Amino acid sequence: MLISLLKQAQKFGGGCTKILAIDQASRHSAFSIGVNGKLTDYGELNANGEGDDRIYEMAVLIKKKIKQVKPDVVYFENIQLQAGNVSVYQMLARLQGELIFMFKEMKMPYKIVAPVTWKAHIGICKGKRDVQKQACIELMQEKYGVDLLGNDDVADSLGILTYAIDNEKEI
């Protein structure tokens, strides 16, 4: 019992040990992993197919990543309607529902973060979308000492990870 309580204290008191941050989409989802506040890995998961088959494939890829990484918590971005594109919004809504169901089934703690929340946290909440994307790439490359080769999805996952690391320290 005492060991179990100590493990919980290590996981959630003073910072989560292992965080998986995801910038999810139905075709290309980016992930980043932080262990004890340090970046340990990042990359992309790519799904093929169309419609619900692609959503299912992406959920399976994310589940495999969770089983591989064994995070203490998963942070992922909430969805938002962009430029009135309802069909993309609906696709992201279905993916988000699939992920929440999967996390509940796996008993995996998760937190959904509004884009404006993590962007404000790292200081890129002003300007148009393309300006924010470039600012995020540059900021995350500088912060983590990596070359993202212009990949704004991976940069976003690193922004979510940065927010998550700082958020977990406050608990």
Predicted pLDDT at 10:
42
Predicted pLDDT at 152:
96
**Inter-residue long-range contacts of 121-130, CB under 8 Å, 24+ positions, other chains counted:** 121/159, 121/162, 121/163, 121/166, 122/159, 122/162, 122/163, 124/159, 129/82
Q: pTM of the entire structure? A: 0.88
Residues of the chain with pLDDT under 50: 1-14, 171
CA gap 151, 134 in Å, rounded: 9
Summarised one tens digit per residue, pLDDT across range 99-115 is 999 999 999 999 999 99
In the CATH scheme, what is the code of domain 17-166?
A: 3.30.420.10
